[in-house]
């Protein structure tokens, strides 16, 4: 008999140890680093110039344009796309608070008062009674989070809220870049319009020169007609540039949250100088500075925790309940007797026709989708930085070459004009040189603006350390 008791005791101990050892296997662990599934290069392929290592993280201020700063500030407050992103953040924050509440017991209080009439018959006698009933009770319930299902749900909601905050920050970065690029395009367009008007005046003076020489018998009607054609061609560009400037002003108004045509925009007469280049850092820095990449990574972690929810949902659950209260037929004796009960219940799935297994497969597929999207966003972010560095480097050389070409075209025009005025050539070389110079001047303006746009794209690709919301825990708003 003693050996039998020892055997039963050993069996119980073994069962307890077996359950304890199996417990960690039943709990889903989330241990996923941002570079576990993708290898980042040690440095950028394109060489970077000496960079500015400090300064305001709001990069658009480096252009030192008060009008641009005011426009971006207005857009970051009034832009409707950003407001929609902030509303989505509020939704995620509310869901997080709902999930957080599941960690705590729920308590409900109820009270009831009723009055009723009953009629009964005792033999041939009809008896009527009036009954009053009063009750006051409270109930509490709590789900013991044995397998981490509730904790996984709260963590997933917190990560979703962080991702929504980062989405709002990414939207703000995009809006700041759109405003800056549109503002630069407006300056270029207005400058090209001014240049076109001065070119038209210059062409008109050359037309007067050809007519004067024709009157003195040293020119030809062909030269006059060619110059008239040149004047008309340049003048035809002005209406298009005026319309383009109006379109850009409307775009800026909408970006800043105003109706088209309802925002007064003052711009400088020339494009700003290119600021010192920002520090490009290393590819791994994108994991800390690109809000869209950081948001995608948090969605991977959130999806991983939801796999944990699906795992825990297949295991038994423990629920504790407690009820207590008072009941009486009169208010005077309502609190005379307390009635209460406590209970613990275990519920576990036995047969669900594969529903929970299907949810496991779905959650795993969602995780794989989020992981692929994160990897794609990281690859695209690296490509955007590489492209911006490459394009800005090439555009700088292009602008320098165009500047030399404009100077050469201006010298050629002066030489051709002198030969024409001295009767050493006809008007065609002058017309050719004039056309080339004016085209080069327009191209030079566009190239300078494009260089500035590539700088904006580089800032956008690198991300930054400024945000319109707190991206720490998603609960700050």
Superfamily of domain 36-103+146-314+357-462: Outer membrane efflux proteins (OEP) (1.20.1600.10)
Is-contact 374 300, C-beta < 8 A?
Answer: yes
Q: Which of 147-161, 223-237, 459-473 has the lowest mean pLDDT?
A: 459-473
What lies within 8 Å, CB to CB, of 167 at 6+ separation is 85, 88, 89, 291, 292, 295
- Whether the pLDDT of residue 10 is over 60: the answer is no
CA distance 199 to 189: 15
Q: Over the stretch 40-69, which tens digit does the pLDDT of each residue have? A: 888 888 877 756 655 678 899 999 999 999
- What's the whole-number mean pLDDT along residues 90-112? 92
- What's the whole-number mean pLDDT along residues 233-245? 90
Q: Over the stretch 321-344, which tens digit does the pLDDT of each residue have? A: 999 888 877 777 778 788 889 999
- Tell me the percentage of the chain whose pLDDT exceeds 70: 89
Q: How high is the pLDDT of residue 20?
A: 38
Residue 206 CA: distances (Å) to CA of 37, 84, 425, 430, 435: 67, 56, 15, 9, 12
- Whether the pLDDT of residue 261 is over 70: the answer is yes
Residue 7 — pLDDT band, cuts 50, 70, 90?
very low
Total count of residues recorded for the chain? 477
Mean pLDDT for all residues in the chain: 85
Q: How high is the pLDDT of residue 409?
A: 92
What CATH number labels 107-144+319-348?
2.20.200
Q: How high is the pLDDT of residue 53?
A: 54
Q: Over the stretch 420-449, which tens digit does the pLDDT of each residue have? A: 888 788 878 888 888 888 889 999 999 999
Q: How high is the pLDDT of residue 55?
A: 62
- Tell me the percentage of the chain whose pLDDT exceeds 90: 52
Tell me the three state secondary structure of residue 323: strand
Q: How high is the pLDDT of residue 446?
A: 94
Q: Which of 26-35, 124-133, 243-252, 374-383 has the lowest mean pLDDT?
A: 26-35
Q: How high is the pLDDT of residue 141?
A: 93
Largest CA distance in the chain: 143
Residue 125 — pLDDT band, cuts 50, 70, 90?
confident
Q: How high is the pLDDT of residue 200?
A: 86
Residue 12 — pLDDT band, cuts 50, 70, 90?
very low
The full set of domain ranges for the chain reads 36-103+146-314+357-462, 107-144+319-348
CA distance 158 to 163: 9
Q: Over the stretch 346-373, which tens digit does the pLDDT of each residue have? A: 988 888 899 999 999 999 999 999 999 9
Residue 11 — pLDDT band, cuts 50, 70, 90?
very low
Q: Are β-strands 338-347 and 317-328 bridged in parallel, bridged antiparallel, or unpaired? A: antiparallel
- What's the whole-number mean pLDDT along residues 266-278? 91
| Structure-model confidence comparison of residues 87 and 33, the more confident one | 87
Backbone phi, psi, residue 346, to 5°: -115, 130
- Whether the pLDDT of residue 410 is over 80: the answer is yes
Question: How many Cβ atoms from other residues are within 10 Å of residue 151's Cβ?
Answer: 18
Residue 475 — pLDDT band, cuts 50, 70, 90?
very low
CA distance 443 to 449: 10
Sign of CA dihedral 43, 45, 51, 56: negative
What is the enclosing helix (H) or strand (E) of 69? helix 66-78
Q: How high is the pLDDT of residue 236?
A: 86
CA distance 416 to 426: 9
């Amino acid at each position: 008999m003693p050996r039998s008791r020892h055997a039963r005791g050993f069996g119980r101990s073994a069962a307890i140890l077996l359950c304890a050892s199996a417990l960690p296997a039943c709990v889903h662990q989330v241990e996923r680093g941002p570079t576990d599934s993708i290898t980042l290069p040690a440095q950028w392929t394109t060489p970077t110039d000496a960079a500015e290592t400090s300064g305001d993280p709001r990069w658009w201020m480096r252009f030192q344009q008060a009008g641009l700063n005011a426009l971006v500030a207005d857009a970051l407050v009034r832009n409707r796309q950003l407001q929609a992103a902030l509303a989505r953040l509020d939704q995620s924050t509310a869901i997080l608070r709902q999930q957080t509440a599941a960690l705590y017991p729920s308590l409900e209080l109820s009270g009831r008062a009723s009055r009723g009439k009953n009629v009964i018959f005792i033999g041939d006698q009809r008896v009527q009674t009036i009954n009053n009933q009063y009750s006051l009770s409270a109930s509490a319930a709590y789900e013991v989070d044995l397998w981490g299902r509730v904790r996984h749900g709260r963590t997933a909601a917190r990560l979703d809220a962080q991702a929504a905050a980062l989405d709002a920050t990414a939207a703000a970065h995009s809006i700041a870049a759109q405003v800056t690029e549109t503002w630069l395009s407006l300056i270029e367009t207005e400058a090209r319009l001014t240049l076109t008007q001065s070119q038209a005046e210059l062409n008109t003076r050359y037309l007067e020169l050809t007519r004067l020489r024709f009157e003195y018998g040293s020119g030809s009607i062909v030269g006059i007609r060619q110059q008239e054609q040149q004047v008309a061609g340049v003048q035809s560009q002005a209406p298009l540039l005026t319309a383009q400037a109006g379109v850009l002003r409307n775009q800026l108004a909408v970006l800043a949250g105003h109706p088209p045509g309802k925002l007064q925009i003052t711009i400088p007469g020339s494009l700003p100088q290119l600021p010192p280049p920002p520090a490009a850092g290393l590819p791994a820095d994108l994991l800390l500075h690109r809000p869209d990449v950081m948001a995608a990574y948090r969605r991977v972690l959130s999806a991983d925790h939801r796999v944990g929810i699906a795992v825990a949902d297949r295991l038994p659950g423990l629920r504790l309940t407690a009820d207590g209260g008072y009941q009486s037929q009169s208010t005077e004796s309502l609190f005379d007797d307390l009635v209460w009960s406590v209970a613990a219940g275990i519920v576990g799935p036995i047969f669900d026709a594969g529903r929970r297994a299907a949810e496991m497969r779905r959650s795993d597929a969602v995780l794989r989708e989020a992981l692929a999207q994160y990897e794609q966003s990281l690859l695209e972010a690296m490509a955007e930085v590489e492209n911006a560095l490459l394009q800005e480097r090439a555009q700088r050389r292009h602008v320098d070459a165009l500047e030399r070409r404009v100077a050469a075209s201006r010298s050629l025009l002066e030489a051709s004009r002198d030969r024409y005025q001295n009767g050493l050539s006809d008007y065609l070389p002058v017309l050719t040189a004039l056309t080339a110079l004016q085209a080069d001047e327009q191209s030079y303006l566009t190239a300078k603006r494009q260089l500035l746009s590539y700088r904006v794209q580089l800032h956008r690709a690198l991300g930054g350390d400024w945000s319109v919301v707190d991206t720490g825990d998603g609960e700050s708003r």
